[in-house]
C-alpha cells in the first residue's frame, strides 16, 4: 500500500485490482507518485483492473493530464490491466473530465463508471 495526504493506492486481491482513492487536490509529483506506484502494483500482482475512486477527486492540471496520457496510459496499456473503472457520483463536477478520460481509454481498455466500490 502507498498512502499520502492526497491519495491511497492499494491492491484488492478479491477483485485482482489496484484501487486509487483520491483524497485531496494535488499536482506534479504528488499526483504522479501514487500512479507510478499503482503501475508497479499492477506489474507485481498481474492485476487486471485499475479502479479510480473520484469521490473526493478534483480537476487535474493540464500538465498532469498530459503526463497521464503520454506516460501513465502507455505503460498501463503494456501491462496486465484490461479494465478501468471510475467510481464517480452522478452529480460529480468531474463528469465531463471522466467522460473524456473514458473516451480516450476505451480504445485500449474495458471502461466503465460506477457509483460505489460494491457495484464492481
* Full pLDDT tens readout for the chain, 120 residues: 999 999 999 999 999 999 999 999 999 999 999 999 999 999 999 999 999 999 988 888 889 989 998 999 999 999 999 999 999 999 998 888 898 889 889 999 999 999 999 999
Contacts of 39 (CB under 8 A, 6+ apart): 72, 75, 76, 79
Q: Structure pTM?
A: 0.93
The pLDDT value recorded for residue 11 is 98
The span from the CA of 86 to the CA of 96, in Å, is 13
The span from the CA of 63 to the CA of 69, in Å, is 10
Strand positions, DSSP E, 7-82: 7-12, 17-22, 49-53
Find the helix or strand (DSSP H, E) in which 3 lies: strand 2-3
Amino acid at each position: 500500500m502507498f498512502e499520502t495526504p492526497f491519495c491511497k493506492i492499494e491492491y484488492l486481491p478479491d477483485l485482482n485490482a489496484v484501487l486509487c482513492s483520491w483524497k485531496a487536490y494535488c499536482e506534479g509529483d504528488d499526483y504522479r507518485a501514487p500512479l507510478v506506484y499503482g503501475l508497479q502494483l499492477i506489474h507485481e500482482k498481474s492485476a487486471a483492473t485499475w479502479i479510480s475512486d473520484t469521490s473526493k477527486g478534483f480537476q487535474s492540471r493540464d500538465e498532469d493530464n498530459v503526463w497521464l496520457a503520454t506516460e501513465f496510459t502507455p505503460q498501463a496499456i503494456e501491462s496486465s490491466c484490461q479494465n478501468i473503472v471510475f467510481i464517480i457520483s452522478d452529480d460529480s463536477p468531474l463528469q465531463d473530465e471522466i467522460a473524456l478520460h473514458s473516451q480516450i481509454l476505451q480504445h485500449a481498455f474495458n471502461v466503465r463508471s460506477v457509483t460505489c466500490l460494491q457495484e464492481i
